[in-house]
């Protein structure tokens, strides 16, 4: 494969980067946001919507798709792309985070992790090698290794074990990845763990980068820790990540967190917040969150977000979307999810533009001044 | 207003008719099907979807929209069209059927009907005049008068009272309609009641047609009676309906029932079945119903309906839609609802075509031979 990542420009005032990432299903402009398609579908949106919104990549969950519909079904389609009818790049996470957040009765050994499916209670055993085989079958363009995600808060011992197993499993992952010939079409990331300890985060970063992956992710930062600690982890790890590889802050975050993380040198983001907030009647705007069930919007003929040019804001009013949510119509959830995903995609488009124009520092300042993360 | 309904052609072998209906928001080719937008939205579908599907008219429910969001909101938009962002024709029913099927503690007097909202338990009083005023505010192109829908089964006395009140209220409706000047932009239908009695159906038909409405509906046929009795009612009433007015069989029905009703001289249909079946994982095809949760479809790479050209069938597989439904993804409900509504719209397109071609008799025979109404 040609060079995977090209760093095109760096910001003069921050650590922000503008780049390009080549995948088997197209070239991605960085930094970028990936809508989350947990069950091989971005909640409420079909692949045509996702294309229309302008998303470059869809993320899907190895854990969920492996359990349902299962590889028998995905194999019929030779992978997720045809199954979802999405011809753009796909990233699959390894299932590590889901195993540690969704399942019961899990047992971690050096070999792997045994867990009970949250779908039907059946027992499964994931090893780093098995996850590579599954991700080969899913056929995503970017793939993640099985890692061990420490809970928050956690003991020093738990954090140490998370780091050492994650490193060991990353090495085994890389070997299987090469043995399988997956490197011909797939980009393998390493995941840095280490919980809230500076030295463990840095140890993990040194170990994972020494394996030599195609990109690096910071994991375990969306498990419930305060925002301050999340950014500490990013700042501890970032200097250890090679400039010529893409960096991915997993599972993050609210729009203001994304702007800040870009300024810390992160290139890739995902979160289910836009669709989850949409399903709860919350719209995202440049001012923060809008709770559209608020009575003040009952007669509002304007769009959900006056600054937005998305399909929903161009065609439907706040009052209409609010009515749909109040009446329990799934169309309301769908329209709000559409708007919120568009909001993230448009934000990233603007971030790339101001990076190109050398104006990211001002953009960040203005964005954070206007955006109220507590606004209801 | 110019002539509202033009009868273009009648079938030689059946009572089927091909016509054209002029409304303030466009001309409708008959016979036609109206997707049901109970809460000012066809469940799961945005107005762009409905347009793409090719629906000519959307039906909305006076009862539901009056209760939520309420006329205060609709008045801000000067009616349903702008509220829903649908610029084609709209029909609103009167709420009569909903008052009798959804509400508690209702009390009918000669004056009107008092009922408790199913949304919040608040008490409301509908009179024929009030419903006309509401429907004027909603601004639909075709409107229905408040009627009294007898339950199934019902006593002779109940059926008689339903007929006499419905006639009385239709007269009061017509007077208010003219007083309000609604006849400038709206088409008022009369509704024939009479339950399962031939003489009462015919009495009602004579009384309602003598008032002189712009079109005629057969009501009370979707309240739970056997299909055989429904078609008896149609056959009793139809000869009393003027040829030069559109005929509407309210709340009907399954695809084979629609084909049969067209052959009995009906022009207009509505039912929430396509979206309701979609939400329950059932797809409609020319062979009948397909329960897509059936295990045999788990790996099916073909479309939901191999005979269908809709957006969903052109882009997504049976296995994918099945997976979405199994995983509880609202996208699955949306895609199946889309297909099912398309199925009805496409069926009506073909019916109009074979009527134009003088081939409806054969079409009906072939359709009913292929379609298994019991097929699971």
CB distance B268 to B246 below 8 Å: yes
**Same domain as B313, residue B180:** no
* Sheet hosting strand A90-93, strand order edge to edge: A32-34, A268-270, A247-249, A215-218, A187-192, A142-143, A90-93, A58-61, A36-37
Count Cβ atoms below 10 Å from residue B71 Cβ, excluding itself: 13
What residues of A are in contact with residue B72 (Cβ under 8 Å)?
A: 298-299
For the domain that residue B253 is a member of, what is the CATH number? 3.20.20.105
Out of A271, A293, A316, a domain closes at A271
Pairing of the two strands B5-10 and B32-34: unpaired
Of the listed ranges A98-102, A135-139, A215-219, A319-323, the one predicted with least confidence = A98-102
Residue at A375 is within a domain: no
Arithmetic mean of pLDDT, A210-228: 92
Q: Which helix (H) or strand (E) holds A373?
A: none
Mutation site, B73, B296, B325, interface A, largest A CB count within 10 A: B73
What residues of A are in contact with residue B317 (Cβ under 8 Å)?
A: 77, 83
| Rounded Cα gap, residues A315 and A337, in angstroms | 15
Q: Is A40 left (phi over 0), alpha (psi -120 to 50) or beta?
A: left
Out of B245, B271, B297, a domain closes at B271
**Same domain as A293, residue A226:** no
**Same domain as B137, residue B48:** yes
Residue at B96 is within a domain: yes
**Same domain as B144, residue B29:** yes
Residue at A144 is within a domain: yes
Contact A330 B46 (CB under 8 A): no
Residue at B376 is within a domain: no
Which pLDDT score, from 0 to 100, does residue A375 have?
A: 52
In degrees, rounded to 5, the angle at the alpha carbon of residue A249 between the alpha carbons of residues A244 and A253 is 140
Which pLDDT score, from 0 to 100, does residue A338 have?
A: 98
What residues of A are in contact with residue B299 (Cβ under 8 Å)?
A: 72-73, 76
Arithmetic mean of pLDDT, A92-101: 90
Query: What is the biggest distance separating any 2 CA atoms in chain A, rounded to whole angstroms?
Result: 61
**Same domain as B315, residue B232:** no
Arithmetic mean of pLDDT, A259-282: 96
**Same domain as B316, residue B215:** no
Q: Which of B69, B317, B331 faces A298 most closely, judged by CB atoms?
A: B69
Between residues A376 and A199, the one the model is more confident about: A199
What residues of A are in contact with residue B45 (Cβ under 8 Å)?
A: 331
**Same domain as A164, residue A125:** yes
Which pLDDT score, from 0 to 100, does residue B376 have?
A: 41
**Same domain as A58, residue A205:** yes
Q: Which of A41, A315, A317 faces B324 most closely, judged by CB atoms?
A: A41
Q: Which of A46, A315, A324 faces B335 most closely, judged by CB atoms?
A: A46
How many domains does chain A contain in total?
A: 2
> Is the pLDDT assigned to residue B276 strictly greater than 70?
yes
Which pLDDT score, from 0 to 100, does residue A376 have?
A: 41
**Same domain as B143, residue B9:** yes
Q: Would you call A296 an interface residue with chain B, using a CB distance cutoff of 8 Å? A: no
- pLDDT tens digit string along B238-272? 999 999 999 999 999 999 999 999 999 999 999 99
> Is the pLDDT assigned to residue B101 strictly greater than 90?
no
In Å, how far is A210's CA from the nearest CA of chain B? 39
Q: How much of chain B exceeds pLDDT 90, in percent?
A: 92
Mean predicted lDDT score pLDDT of chain B? 96
> Is the pLDDT assigned to residue A1 strictly greater than 60?
no
**Same domain as B164, residue B53:** yes
Residue at A56 is within a domain: yes
Residue at B286 is within a domain: yes
Model-level ipTM above the cut of 0.85: yes
**Range(s) of the domain holding residue B283:** 278-370
pTM > 0.90: yes or no? yes
Count Cβ atoms below 10 Å from residue B139 Cβ, excluding itself: 23
Mean predicted lDDT score pLDDT of chain A? 96
Strands (E), chain B: 5-10, 17-23, 26-30, 32-34, 36-37, 58-61, 90-93, 104-108, 113-116, 123-126, 142-143, 187-192, 215-218, 247-249, 268-270, 282-285, 288-291
In Å, how far is A279's CA from the nearest CA of chain B? 10
Arithmetic mean of pLDDT, A102-121: 91
| Rounded Cα gap, residues A330 and A335, in angstroms | 9
Residues of B serving a catalytic function are: 93, 270
Residue at A376 is within a domain: no
What residues of A are in contact with residue B64 (Cβ under 8 Å)?
A: 327
Contact A330 B45 (CB under 8 A): no
Instruction: Find the residue in B nearest to A118 (Cα).
Output: B327
**Same domain as B39, residue B145:** yes
> Is the pLDDT assigned to residue B305 strictly greater than 60?
yes
In Å, how far is A183's CA from the nearest CA of chain B? 28
Residue at B145 is within a domain: yes
Q: Would you call B76 an interface residue with chain A, using a CB distance cutoff of 8 Å? A: yes
Out of B231, B254, B271, a domain closes at B271
Terminal-residue alpha carbon distance, chain A: 47
CB distance B331 to B315 below 8 Å: no
**Same domain as A308, residue A198:** no
Secondary structure in 3-state letters for B9-20: EECCCCCCEEEE
| Rounded Cα gap, residues A189 and A166, in angstroms | 12
- pLDDT tens digit string along B180-192? 999 999 999 999 9
Query: What is the biggest distance separating any 2 CA atoms in chain B, rounded to whole angstroms?
Result: 61
């Amino acid at each position: 494969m040609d060079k995977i990542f090209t760093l095109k420009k760096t910001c003069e005032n921050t650590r922000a980067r503008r780049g390009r990432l080549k995948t088997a299903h197209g070239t991605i402009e960085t930094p970028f946001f990936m809508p989350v398609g947990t069950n091989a579908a971005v909640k409420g949106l079909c692949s045509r919507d996702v294309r229309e919104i302008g998303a470059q990549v869809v993320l899907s969950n190895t854990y969920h798709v492996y359990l349902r519909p299962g590889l028998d079904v995905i194999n019929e389609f030779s992978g997720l792309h045809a199954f979802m009818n999405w011809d753009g790049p796909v990233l699959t996470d390894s299932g590590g985070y889901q195993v540690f957040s969704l399942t019961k009765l899990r047992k971690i050994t050096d070999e792997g992790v045994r867990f009970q499916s949250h779908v039907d209670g059946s027992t499964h055993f994931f090893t780093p090698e098995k996850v590579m085989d599954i991700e080969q079958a899913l056929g995503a363009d970017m793939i993640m290794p099985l890692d061990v995600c420490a809970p928050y808060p956690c003991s020093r011992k738990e954090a140490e074990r998370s780091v050492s197993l994650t490193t060991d499993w990353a090495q085994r992952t890389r070997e299987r990845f090469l043995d399988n010939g997956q490197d011909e079409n797939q980009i393998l990331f390493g995941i840095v763990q280490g919980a809230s300890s500076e030295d463990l985060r840095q140890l993990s970063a040194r170990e994972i980068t020494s394996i030599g992956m195609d990109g690096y992710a910071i994991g375990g930062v969306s498990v419930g820790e305060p925002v301050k600690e999340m950014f500490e982890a990013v700042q501890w790890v970032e200097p250890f990540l090679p400039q010529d590889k893409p960096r991915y802050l997993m599972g993050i975050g609210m729009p203001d967190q994304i702007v800040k993380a870009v300024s810390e040198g992160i290139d890739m983001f995902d979160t289910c917040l836009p669709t989850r907030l949409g399903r709860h009647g919350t719209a995202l705007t440049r001012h923060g969150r809008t709770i559209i069930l608020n009575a003040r919007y009952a007669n509002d003929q304007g769009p959900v977000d006056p600054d937005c040019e998305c399909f929903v804001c161009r065609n439907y009013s706040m009052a209409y979307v609010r009515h749909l949510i109040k009446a329990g119509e799934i169309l309301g959830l769908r329209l709000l999810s559409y708007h919120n995903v568009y909001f993230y995609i448009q934000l990233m488009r603007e971030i790339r533009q101001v990076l190109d124009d050398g104006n990211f520092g001002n953009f960040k300042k203005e964005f954070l001044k206007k955006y109220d993360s507590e606004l209801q």
